[in-house]
C-alpha cells in the first residue's frame, strides 16, 4: 500500500528524525503528557509515545499540528487506543 493512499484523517501525519537527537512530528492533535523521559501525544494516526532522556519540546503548534522534540530519543511507539491498561503508557506513567 502506498503512503499516499493511507487516510489517517484530516491532518497529514509524518515523522522526521535527524539522528537520535531531533524529531519532528506532524499531524499532532494534542499532547497528553510529557517530561524529560517520555512524551505521549495523540496524532492523526493514533497515540504516539516517544521515550528517551533529556527530552524537551522545542516547538508545539497544535493549530499547525507540528511538534519538535530535542534530546536523546530511545523509542517511538504507537499505542492501540483500546489497550492502554497494560501498554507502554501504563508502564511509563502508571
pLDDT tens track for 46-72:
999 999 999 999 999 988 899 999 999
pLDDT at residue 5, rounded to an integer: 41
Identify the CATH number of the domain in which residue 81 sits. Answer: 2.60.40.2000
For the chain, give the number of residues. Answer: 94
Q: What residue numbers bound the domain in which 26 lies?
A: 3-93
**pTM for the whole structure:** 0.75
CA distances to 3, 11, 35, 65 from 14, in Å = 10, 10, 22, 11
Cβ-contact 65, 51 below 8 angstroms: no
Q: pLDDT (tens digit, 9 = 90+) per residue, 7-45?
A: 444 578 999 999 999 999 999 999 999 999 999 999 999
Overall domain count for the chain: 1
Amino acid at each position: 500500500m502506498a503512503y499516499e493512499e493511507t487516510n489517517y484523517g484530516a491532518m497529514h501525519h509524518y515523522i522526521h528524525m535527524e539522528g537520535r537527537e531531533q524529531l519532528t512530528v506532524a499531524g499532532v492533535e494534542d499532547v497528553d503528557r510529557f517530561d524529560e523521559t517520555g512524551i505521549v501525544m495523540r496524532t492523526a494516526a493514533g497515540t504516539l509515545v516517544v521515550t528517551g532522556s533529556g527530552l524537551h519540546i522545542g516547538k508545539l503548534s497544535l493549530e499547525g499540528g507540528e511538534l519538535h522534540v530535542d534530546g536523546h530519543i530511545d523509542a517511538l511507539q504507537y499505542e492501540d487506543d483500546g489497550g492502554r491498561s497494560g501498554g507502554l503508557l501504563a508502564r511509563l506513567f502508571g
